[in-house]
A and B are shown apart, each in its own frame.
Chain A
Amino acid sequence: MTDSRISAPDRRTVLRGALYTAAALPLGVTLASCATGGGGGGEDETDDGGDEPAGDVDPDNPFGVEPDSTVETVIFNGGYGVDYVEFAADIFADLHGGEATVEPQTEITATMQPRFVAGNPPDLIDNSGAQSMGFNAIMDQIEDLTDVIDAPNLEGTTIRDTLVSENVLDSGVYDGKLAAINYVLSLYGIWYSASLFDEHGWTPPTTWEEAKQLGAAAKDEGLYLFVWGKEAATYYQTLAIDSAIKQGGDEVRLTLENLEEDCWSHEAIQAVFTAMKEIVDAGYFKPGGSGTEFKTAQAQWSLEQEALLYPSGSWIENEMKSNTADDFQMTGVPSFVVDDSSAMPVTALHSEAGEPFIVPTEAQNGAGGKEMLRIMLSQEAAANFAKEKLAPTVIADTVPEDGFGSTALVSQSEMLAAAGTDTFTHKFVNLYGLNQAQLTVWNSFLDGSKSVEELTSDLQAITDEARETQEVIPVS
């Protein structure tokens, strides 16, 4: 018996084992990503989603979906849920027999990455949410969806002719390829309470100078002009970029999108930064934003009404629904210009379609994935989405004039109508995953501890690093 006691593990051996295990933990991350070596034959893949249709092709079945085939869709289960895709899946079953499955998912990257590596991705993915896949990582493995846009919808009209505008597709175009069709239309603006403004006789500003004057007026009432939260400090970066693009024209967008050297030093961007710095220094931002959770900060605007304006996407009404003061009458205006000499009119708008749907090239039933998209882009499904989600899709005329009773939705329609073709979008921040690094910089700038020069050089350093370490997709 004594012998076996000697060979029994002593405390130190156990400790050492635990130590090695703990040291391995940080490396466990690759466990989730599970090896390129595994997985079924990615090399000798014969199935190709788009090129050779398996079933017969005709206007009612432009992609040649095989009758009774199965389509697998993975849909981001966020603010919009997945029932709008299930709505389309029912139509798919009626048209072609078979079945379209809808898998709700929030961890898109974690669940889809191994399937891409193994070469068996699903037929349609809504690549959205905080855990979405970076487009520069999957660009070679997804279909160009131009043929979906040029296909007739279920009512017989070509889908391209039913879009809100042609450039609504821009947010899914990478280096000339329509890699994703973004389904939900949103826009970026500055939001305020129409009732509060009426009460004080204020009008929403259109230039940074007017914004400064409004800030002074607000201060007299003991209010702030702006409020921010630490996870959303870069909403002010979006505002600054939008503003600079309107002021300086498309060249501002292109220099940023192409991650060019000294892009942040562009005259128009500097003019906007300088105006913002004056507002920061004047104390028109509610202090403490860099330590405040962003929804708490947003409620200081929408519920406690301590601040007048908040720059955000049009999802803000829905996001703050339960935290908005009674009779708030949330209304939006496009981002400010610097002065009258701006390259774009005041009404120009950062409009961006969201919920990017992609069809992987190696999907088993890529034709079915495209057919699902075609169904979703048809009048019936688009109208259903607008009604159920109180948000417009990229398909025109699905929101009635009363906006289903929402002031924000009405003002969204008005802003889009006023902008006409003067809409733009930019996507380098998300494409290269820069938001986290930029947040730190913006939090410091907004709380007053960074100068315009420091803001510029810090943002430039982030852009430079991305250009040097990642594959840059050119934008023109």
Chain B
Amino acid sequence: MWSFDSISFFLVFLGLPLALFLTLVIWPFLQAAFYSFTNWGGFSQEFDIVGFDNYVRLVQDGTFLTALVNNVKLAIVIPLVTLVIALIFATLVTVGGRGIGQTVGVKNSGFYRVVSFFPYVIPAVVTAVIFMKVFDPSDGLLNRLLPAAFEQNWLGSVSTAMPASMVVIVWAGVGFYMLLFIAAIKSIPAEVYEAARLDGAGRLRTLWSVTLPSIRETVQTAWIYIGIAALDAFVFMHILNNSGGPDNSTLVMPQYLFRLAFSQNQFGYASAVGVAMAVVTLVFAALVFTINRLSGGSTRSS
């Protein structure tokens, strides 16, 4: 039983990852939780335990609440829009082709599949910088293309800054989730589609009644991943509107955390913001699981 083989196997494949996980994930996690109860300034060994003061301040902090609401907006809109577009594209290049004969994607689907993945290959930082130029009110590509009456100060006015930022995040994300869905759709047996078609189902009907139920688990996974990304969104927001946008309309929680910790040296309070972010993230995931179960999906694998 306890041969060298099995012991070394446990050490390398269980012990090592567990040790790394404990020191690099769990330990900082606990530390952050601890510091959230202090007034640590970040540069000395000295701090006072202040109990729940940071959390009391947190719920009264208007800027934090603005950031929280912005993150919630992102967590609602970004997954919905991105995944709907990704699913439509994925359907088109896999099963959306001609209505007779073998089930195939639209013409040149191989080309579209590669091209639509391009945005995901570009680092988020670069994407954000490019779009910042595109949205420039004086010389930006977008305003140059639009008729004068539709020109906007895209990232500079309260009404457009958030939607414009969302467009960038969606643009960057669609390719990856499309790939994810393509892989899932490919695993659905072709006979199911053929049967549906023989029964007279059109493309929309097929999407709704065949594709979607078959890849339900994948959609849920995707939803959680992109939701977590939207609850962060730091890279995009920090570059598109470094200071939080007009009237803080694009300020997100990590940006606020960053500001508190690294420009105001309030590491204790910043840790409390971090803990709050973690709680929000877990609540989001719990919501997605619950909704999926209530709407009839099963997450049990047995």
Interface residue B175 (Cβ < 8 Å from any Cβ of A): no
Interface residue B32 (Cβ < 8 Å from any Cβ of A): yes
Of B137, B228, B258, B300, the residue contacting A22 (CB under 8 A) is B228
Contact with B along A267-289 (1 / 0, CB 8 A): 00000000000000000001111
Known: A113-B42, A288-B153, A291-B157. A469 touches B246 (CB 8 A): no
Within 8 A of B (CB), among A1-28: 10-12, 15, 18-19, 21-28
Chain B interface, >50% SS class = helix
Interface residue A340 (Cβ < 8 Å from any Cβ of B): no
For A440, the chain B residues whose CB sits under 8 A away are 243-248, 251
Interface residue B278 (Cβ < 8 Å from any Cβ of A): yes
Which residue in chain A gives the minimum CB-CB distance to B265? Answer: A137
Min C-beta distance of A178 to chain B, whole Å: 19
The answer to whether A26 touches B31, judged by C-beta atoms less than 8 angstroms apart, is: no
Min C-beta distance of B164 to chain A, whole Å: 9
For A444, the chain B residues whose CB sits under 8 A away are 246-247
* Of B22-30, B166-174, B202-210, the one touching chain A: B22-30
The answer to whether B43 touches A113, judged by C-beta atoms less than 8 angstroms apart, is: yes
Q: How far is the CA of A35 from the CA of B300 in the complex (A)?
A: 40
* Of B79-87, B107-115, B185-193, B268-276, the one touching chain A: B268-276
The answer to whether B153 touches A287, judged by C-beta atoms less than 8 angstroms apart, is: yes
> Which of the listed residues B45, B47, B155, B232 has the most CB atoms from chain A within 10 Å of its own CB?
B45
Contact with B along A25-56 (1 / 0, CB 8 A): 11111110101100000110000000000000
The answer to whether A290 touches B156, judged by C-beta atoms less than 8 angstroms apart, is: yes
Which residue in chain A gives the minimum CB-CB distance to B245? Answer: A440
For B40, the chain A residues whose CB sits under 8 A away are 36
Within 8 A of A (CB), among B19-77: 24-26, 28-29, 31-33, 35, 40-45, 47, 57, 63
Interface residue A437 (Cβ < 8 Å from any Cβ of B): yes
Chain A interface, >50% SS class = helix
For B29, the chain A residues whose CB sits under 8 A away are 24, 27
Interface residue A380 (Cβ < 8 Å from any Cβ of B): no
The answer to whether B31 touches A35, judged by C-beta atoms less than 8 angstroms apart, is: yes
Interface residue A253 (Cβ < 8 Å from any Cβ of B): no
In addition to A11-B221, A291-B161, A440-B244, 11 A-B residue pairs with Cβ atoms within 8 Å of each other are A10-B301, A12-B300, A22-B225, A23-B281, A24-B25, A26-B277, A30-B35, A43-B45, A290-B157, A437-B259, A470-B265
Please give the residue numbers on chain B whose beta carbons come within 8 Å of chain A beta carbons, in ascending order: 24-26, 28-29, 31-33, 35, 40-45, 47, 57, 63, 132-133, 135-139, 153-158, 161, 217, 221, 224-225, 228, 232, 241-248, 251, 253-254, 257-259, 261-267, 269-271, 274-275, 277-278, 281-282, 285, 299-301
Please give the residue numbers on chain A whose beta carbons come within 8 Å of chain B beta carbons, in ascending order: 10-12, 15, 18-19, 21-31, 33, 35-36, 42-43, 109, 113, 116-117, 119, 131, 133-134, 136-138, 140-141, 230-231, 286-293, 296, 300, 432-433, 435-437, 439-440, 443-444, 447, 449, 466, 469-470
A-B pairs, top 5 by smallest CB distance, nearest first, are A291-B156, A288-B137, A290-B156, A433-B263, A439-B243
